[in-house]
Amino acid sequence: MAGMATNPHKLVQTWALLVSSFLVVVGAFGLFTEQIGPLPTNRIHAIGLNLGVGLVGFGFARFGEEALFVLISGVGMLALAALGFFPATHHWLYMTLHMNRTESYFELAGGIVSLLLWWNARREIDQAPPP
């Protein structure tokens, strides 16, 4: 395994499926609870941010556009993280979507990983033949 080169485009595809799967599972749990580990949630959050984005991610994967999903969701995660860190929007985000500061850190980490994977694979993605 150590001598094997990793395919950056394959990493993007795998990341897209992992993120989509995670969001669908967490969204399903979020429909029935107000707290998933250290993260608060509510139905709007579960349906809109988790189930909705996760199912859209599977739609992108169906048409071979995982890289576009990773790019868009990475930017979205960074935007949500920023809203969670800004004092002017932090309270609104918590009242509307039950997103606390801990979740902002998760969003920030996920957004950074997404954009780094996309950036690393962008040349290969541009040269890939259409599905």
The domain locations on the chain are: 9-122
The residue among 92, 60, 89 whose CA lies nearest residue 23 is: 60
- Token output for 81: 């993280």
With a CB cutoff of 8 Å and minimum separation 6, the contacts of 84 are 90, 93, 99, 100, 101, 103, 104, 107
Report phi then psi at 31, rounded to 5: -70, -20
Question: What value does the mean pLDDT take over residues 60-74?
Answer: 96
Give CA–CA dist 125/66, Å, rounded: 10
pTM of the model: 0.87
pLDDT tens for each residue of 90-113: 899 989 988 889 999 999 999 999
